[in-house]
Amino acid sequence: MAAHQEKKLAEERKHQNMQNGSKPSQGQWGRAWEVDWFSLASILFLLMFAPLIVYYFIMSCAQYQCSLTDPLLDLLAGNKHLSDIWNRTPMLTPRAAAIYSLWVAFQVFLYMAIPDFCHKFLPGYVGGVQEGAVTPAGAVNKYEINGLQAWIITHVLWFANASFFHFFSPTIIFDNWIPLLWCANILGYAVSTFAMIKGYFFPTNAKDCKFTGNFFYDYMMGIEFNPRIGKWFDFKLFFNGRPGIVAWTLINLSFAAKQRELYGEVTNSMILVNVLQGIYVVDFFWNEAWYLKTIDICHDHFGWYLGWGDCVWLPYLYTLQGLYLVYHPVQLSTAHALGVLLLGLLGYYIFRATNHQKDLFRRTDGNCRIWGQRPRYIECSYTSVDGAKHYSKLLTSGFWGWARHFNYTGDLMGSLAYCLACGFQHILPYFYIIYMAILLTHRCGRDEHRCGSKYGKDWRRYTAAVPYRLLPGLF
């Protein structure tokens, strides 16, 4: 009921704004209230084609040695029909369903049942109960941060099984890769649909719901801001981190195990991909509390984009390099391997240092040192839906003085390193850098649009002080 009232209120607010001839600004930052044709077309395209894109990539590896062009050429030349490809595709199996259900249930258990103990003995690690950012409705949610612990327990069990118990083969993920894809899709669609229904009928915080009136947009971008079941099961935190990101490193380990089973050795490229992506994943969990202040948690509503994306897109497409290396065991020259390692580590350093500077600056409200000096910043203000005025600061020194999204630049360098580890024979492992470049460039625009509406003229003062987005002097 509360959600219906909020929907009505939103419509009235939109109507008033239209009558005033003004664009919604105060207290209405966050995702869109109205949907233009381009957004709608993009959303329909993604809803229809994103699952096919994932299938196409995975099928290309399984049936065409990771060639992206051969399936198309085969179809166009009439050598194969769609039905031939489909008939060779493994279906959902009871074994895959059991593995996947156990996996998700285990991650729910780790998330809900074991409060964080890592912060009690790991110096510098921030875990346990933490607060998120102020939501557009002015609420502040509490989160139990225990992702690092879940990652450690899961991996200890994985290695214990691989070394001592041998309950299952470490190649289990690779061996069930396509049947597991169907399971991930079922969960992704189920959770997105549930989130939509929940947004209408029993939202966690009705004031933080957004209804555009467009069914497809609301399904994709979400209605509820922070859907929860009970006090602690937070959809965004759970689905973004686990099962997808905990699985990322296990998936890579399974691919490495498969390489060894097939060829008797693990190549240096596979080790590089495992190590560089492993650093990224551990970093994510080490900084899970910081993650509460990133766009996914602070600004995105929970819909198909996050629900399906976390269950399917992330574990299947972010791990393409490891999958590719099972089919093409590339052994890199020492110079090539070192180059990739250095690029990956430098990218990671920039990514982490930039994010750390902003986090430190915001946590201490500017009472800190950035590169040994007092930070420079721009004071800004904004208003939340309840009409309350809030104050904030935008950092303009350190890496944040070089470009407005230098953290993305570091991320892109790291992403390129994973791809370069796979050599130059096929385009498929380069999907990740292409995708990340599109995602993060689009994110720059999305974030800047949102910050522009949130901070108004203060944001314009900031962009004048830091004119470049990603590459100082260029873009």
Could you give the CA distance from residue 260 to residue 265 in angstroms, rounded to a whole number? 4
Contact between 394 and ligand NDP by CB under 6 A: the answer reads yes
Closer of 176 and 249 to ligand NDP (Cβ): 249
Residues β-bridged to residue 145:
128
Q: Based on CB atoms, which residue is closest to ligand NDP, 237 or 451?
A: 451
CB of 69 to ligand NDP, least distance (A): 26
Examine residue 447 and tell whether it contacts ligand NDP (CB under 6 A): yes
- What is the rounded distance in angstroms from the CA atom of residue 446 to the CA atom of residue 282? 27
Q: Which of 185, 355, 384, 397 binds ligand NDP (CB under 6 A)?
A: 355
Cα 247-53-414 angle, rounded to 5 deg: 50
Sign of CA dihedral 277, 278, 284, 287: negative
Candidate ranges 45-53, 138-146, 197-205, 388-396; the one touching ligand NDP (CB under 6 A): 388-396
**Beta carbon nearer to ligand NDP, 7 or 236:** 236
Member of 96, 306, 451, 470 binding ligand NDP (CB under 6 A): 451
Q: Does 395 bind ligand NDP (CB under 6 A)?
A: yes
Q: How far is CA 447 from CA 296, 300, 315, 365, 457, in A?
A: 11, 11, 25, 21, 16
Which of residues 151 and 182 has its CB atom nearest to ligand NDP in the complex? Answer: 151
Q: Is residue 358 a contact residue for ligand NDP (CB under 6 A)?
A: yes
Question: Token pair for residue 203?
Answer: 């939202």
Q: How far is the CB of 202 from ligand NDP (least distance, A)?
A: 28
When the beta carbons of 60 and 355 are compared against ligand NDP, the nearer one is 355
Amino acid identity of residue 339, one-letter, is G
Minimum distance of ligand NDP from residue 207's CB (angstroms)? 18
- Beta pairing, strands 128-134 & 377-383: unpaired
Asked whether position 211 contacts ligand NDP by CB under 6 A, the answer is: no
By CB under 6 A, residue 46 contacts ligand NDP = no
Of all residues in the shown chain, the one whose CB is closest to ligand NDP is: 294
**Does residue 254 touch ligand NDP according to CB under 6 A?**
no
- Given 217, 252, 407, 422, the residue binding ligand NDP (CB under 6 A): 407
d(CA 73, CA 423): 23
State in angstroms the smallest separation of the CB of 194 from ligand NDP.
Answer: 23
Instruction: At 272, give phi and psi (nearest 5°).
Output: -60, -45
The alpha carbon of residue 416 and the mean position of all alpha carbons in its chain are separated, in whole angstroms, by 17
Task: Choose which of 324, 400, 418, 431 interacts with ligand NDP (CB under 6 A).
Answer: 400
Q: Are 304 and 191 in contact (CB under 8 A)?
A: no
Which element (helix H / strand E) includes 85?
helix 82-87
Q: Which of 170, 375 has the CB closer to ligand NDP?
A: 375
Q: Which is nearer to ligand NDP, 330 or 394 (CB)?
A: 394
| C-alpha distance from residue 287 to each of 124, 280, 294, 352, 355 (Å) | 10, 10, 11, 10, 10
351 near ligand NDP (CB under 6 A): yes
Cis check: omega of the bond before 243, within 30 degrees of 0: yes
| Residues at the interface with ligand NDP (CB under 6 A) | 294-295, 351, 355, 358, 362, 392, 394-395, 400, 405, 407-408, 411, 443, 447, 451, 454
